[in-house]
Amino acid sequence: MEKVKLAFIGGGNMASSLIGGLIADNFDPRQISVADSSDSQRESIAARYGVSTSADNQATAATANVVILAIKPQHLKAVAEELAPTIQQNQPLVVSIAAGIRSGDINQWLGGNAAVVRAMPNTPALIQTGATALFANVQVSPEQHDLAESILRAVGLALWVENESLMDTVTALSGSGPAYFFRVMEAIEAAGVELGLTKETAHLLTLQTALGAAKMALESRESVAELCTQVTSAGGTTEQGLKAMDEHNINAVFSDVLKAARDRSEELATLLGKN
């Protein structure tokens, strides 16, 4: 990516995490520019990363061959329509990390025939352990496809979906997923305290256990179901704990959780596209 120039429209947490990941991956900060309306945000991101900043969206986008839309979904239409003349003239790759906005709507707001990649990163991207799904419209070239993947890989896992409707499921699973795991950890910690552990002990044991289980699952060739079986001895403590989970139908609970989040994602995409 030596000759690639990146323009971030929006300099918030997710943009900052991407910039930090790219620089850690040896991307030249002099090739990155950021537009943001906040004086303090521009000053902070320039001081932290050594990138150029501006309050002018159009001028910033005009310098780049990749424009990354890192703004709140409810503001995306206005910003995209503002950028449309620049995008039409320069034809950069446009990567949107605004949750819930469909690529067709973005393409329309940008004036049409724009190369758009829609990305759904999650908050662990802030510590370079994110999970991002991407969808490319038909205007995206193979080279731009690879470029978008390289950018998002700087903050963790990046993979593609072929059907854009699956982005709503991705939003429900990995986009909202950290909150589900936080809630489960909160519940386990509270149960440990109820059974006699100090809050600090229950907290540390819960977090380290979650980290260890995730690391084992990532590094193992076996499925999580097989790993679960390996931990479970007949007649033992784990078996009894899992039996209690089965009695509460934990699979149905999380099926309902993801369906509810997916349905809301679909609703918001339709609403924001109309607006």
What is the per-residue pLDDT across 55-110, written as a single tens digit (0 to 9) for each? Answer: 999 999 999 999 999 999 999 999 999 999 999 999 999 999 998 899 999 999 99
Q: Is the pLDDT of residue 227 over 70?
A: yes
Q: In this predicted structure, what is the pLDDT of residue 180? A: 98
Q: Is the pLDDT of residue 2 over 90?
A: no
Q: In this predicted structure, what is the pLDDT of residue 99? A: 87
Question: How many of the other CB atoms lie within 10 Å of CB of 100?
Answer: 24
Give Cβ neighbours of residue 233 (< 8 Å, ≥ 6 apart): 239
Q: What value does the mean pLDDT take over residues 4-29?
A: 93
Q: In this predicted structure, what is the pLDDT of residue 1? A: 65
| Interatomic CA distance for residues 30 and 219, integer angstroms | 36
Q: Is the pLDDT of residue 186 over 70?
A: yes
Q: Tokens in use for 229? A: 């079986």
Q: What value does the mean pLDDT take over residues 159-174?
A: 95
pTM of this structure: 0.89
| Interatomic CA distance for residues 14 and 262, integer angstroms | 22
Mean pLDDT, the chain, whole residue set: 95
- The domains located in the chain, with CATH, are 6-166 (3.40.50.720), 177-268 (1.10.3730.10)
Instruction: Let me know the angle formed at the C-alpha of 261 by 125 and 181, rounded to the nearest 5 degrees.
Output: 50
Distance of CA 16 to the CA centre of its chain: 13
| Interatomic CA distance for residues 42 and 15, integer angstroms | 12
Interstrand relation of 93-96 and 130-136 (parallel, antiparallel or unpaired): unpaired
110-143: pLDDT as tens digits: 999 999 999 999 999 988 899 999 999 999 999 9
Q: Is the pLDDT of residue 3 over 90?
A: no
Distance of CA 77 to the CA centre of its chain: 20
